């Protein structure tokens, strides 16, 4: 039995439910997470390392100078290239040539290849569209922390990524759990002031937090729990631990991450409600126009209730005359 000290009661319940399921082996089957399709662009064939380099430069499409020209686009003046690594092969003259006189090739090292981001080019319109993200719960939290959340093409390497240097989350998947995982990484960085822990720790903190956030804000929390379990098990294995002892060893950080995200979401809900106060037309205020715009209609019941309560509070305050400004609100 793992002691859970998370302050938020709902988060505590979600975590203990998940850990109980892990302990009793009542875990749903792991499913393959959905990912966005990828058009036929050069980086589709790149190595994992090169894709990660591209990610670090915050783009979904990078090509060489000439490759851009061939698509009818020009690299803008003053744009800086970044470099990917390409294998360098030479003829292996220690081996016999084939019947055409061609020697087999051997790898002798890597070349730096300059490529430019699509954002640094202009010209003929690009012949693909970026995937669209669904309305994801907790987007407001990322917004409040100044983190950009962007969709990108699917790839065989990762479903989501967080680039701390750019404060950007890239999602190659529409799944809530992927976004929650990346958001948990950003919260973990805020809690610890860094993200320098061992990889297995960081990943288990993010995935266990994401599983709990699915129960708190997701549409079908159980759907991806099996996948989370498998993910945690693989990183626990790296540390030579079983799932439960690995979870136990990072539970303190998971609690802090959850408390931070839940409290930030509550603040976001409150701010949305306080904006209600600023609407001049009373009918508009009663209709709570910020609600649909901010995706609250999809929030779990409890979040909607909290939102409604905060709205009532804001409206009560608006209705109490507190000076000349407030009088305007009351004029029917």
Residues lying near Zn ion in the complex (CB under 5 A) are found at: 203, 206
Nearer CB in complex with Zn ion: 121/227: 227
Least distance CB 307 / Zn ion (angstroms): 30
Q: Taking the CB of residue 313, how many other CB atoms lie within 10 A of it?
A: 14
List strand residue ranges (DSSP E) for 152-277, in order: 160-163, 168-171
Q: Taking the CB of residue 248, how many other CB atoms lie within 10 A of it?
A: 15
Nearer CB in complex with Zn ion: 236/268: 236
What single DSSP character describes residue 150? E
Separation between Cα atoms, residue 152 and residue 118, nearest integer Å: 13
Nearer CB in complex with Zn ion: 15/206: 206
Nearer CB in complex with Zn ion: 243/273: 243
Nearer CB in complex with Zn ion: 120/203: 203
Nearer CB in complex with Zn ion: 120/207: 207
Least distance CB 251 / Zn ion (angstroms): 17
CA atoms lying within 13 Å on the CB side of residue 179: 25
Q: How far is CA 40 from CA 46, 127, 153, 327, in A?
A: 12, 10, 11, 60
Least distance CB 48 / Zn ion (angstroms): 15
Nearer CB in complex with Zn ion: 159/311: 159
Nearer CB in complex with Zn ion: 53/81: 53
Buried b (16+ CB within 10 A) or exposed e, 105-131: eeeeeeeeeebbbbebbeeeeeeeeeb
Least distance CB 155 / Zn ion (angstroms): 15
In 3-state terms, what secondary structure has residue 110? strand
Least distance CB 303 / Zn ion (angstroms): 25
Nearer CB in complex with Zn ion: 203/259: 203
- Total number of residues shown for the chain: 332
Q: What is the secondary structure of 44-86 as a DSSP string?
A: GGS-HHHHHHHHHTT-S-EE-HHHHHHTTEEEPTTPPPEEEEE
The residue of the chain with the least Cβ separation from Zn ion equals: 206
Least distance CB 185 / Zn ion (angstroms): 6
Least distance CB 181 / Zn ion (angstroms): 6
Q: How far is CA 291 from CA 65, 146, 217, in A?
A: 46, 21, 16
Separation between Cα atoms, residue 68 and residue 124, nearest integer Å: 10
Least distance CB 8 / Zn ion (angstroms): 22
Nearest to 272 by CA among 308, 322, 325, 231: 308
Least distance CB 206 / Zn ion (angstroms): 5
List strand residue ranges (DSSP E) for the chain, in order: 62-63, 73-75, 82-91, 105-117, 121-123, 148-151, 160-163, 168-171
Strands 168-171 and 148-151: parallel
């Amino acid at each position: 039995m793992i002691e859970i000290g998370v302050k938020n009661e709902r988060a505590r319940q979600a975590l203990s439910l998940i850990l109980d399921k892990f302990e009793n082996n009542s875990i749903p089957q792991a499913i393959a997470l959905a990912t966005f399709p990828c058009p036929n662009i050069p980086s589709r064939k790149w190595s994992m390392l090169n894709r990660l380099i591209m990610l670090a430069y915050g783009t979904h499409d990078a090509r060489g100078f000439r490759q851009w020209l061939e698509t009818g686009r020009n690299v803008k003046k003053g744009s800086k290239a970044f470099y990917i690594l390409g294998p360098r092969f030479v003829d292996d003259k220690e081996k016999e040539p084939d019947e055409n006189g061609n020697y087999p090739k051997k790898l002798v090292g890597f070349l730096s290849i300059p490529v430019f981001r699509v954002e640094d080019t202009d010209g003929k319109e690009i012949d693909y569209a970026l995937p669209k993200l669904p309305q994801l719960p907790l987007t407001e939290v990322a917004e409040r922390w100044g983190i950009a959340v962007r969709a990108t093409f699917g790839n065989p390497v990762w479903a989501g990524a967080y680039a701390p240097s750019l404060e950007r989350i890239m999602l190659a998947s529409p799944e809530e759990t992927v976004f929650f995982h990346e958001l948990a990484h950003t919260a973990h960085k805020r809690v610890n002031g860094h993200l320098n822990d061992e990889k297995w720790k960081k990943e288990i903190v993010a995935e266990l937090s994401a599983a709990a956030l699915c129960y708190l804000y997701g549409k079908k929390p159980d759907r991806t729990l099996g996948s989370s379990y498998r993910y945690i098990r693989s990183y626990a294995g790296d540390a030579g631990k079983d799932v439960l002892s690995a979870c136990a060893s990072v539970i303190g950080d998971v609690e802090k991450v959850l408390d931070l995200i839940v409290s930030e979401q509550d603040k976001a809900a409150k701010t949305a409600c306080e904006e209600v106060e600023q609407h001049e037309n009373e009918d508009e205020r009663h209709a709570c126009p910020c609600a649909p715009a901010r995706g609250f209609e999809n929030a779990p019941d409890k979040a909607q209730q909290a939102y409604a309560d905060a709205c009532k509070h804001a409206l009560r305050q608006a209705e109490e005359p507190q000076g000349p400004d407030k009088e305007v609100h009351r004029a029917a």
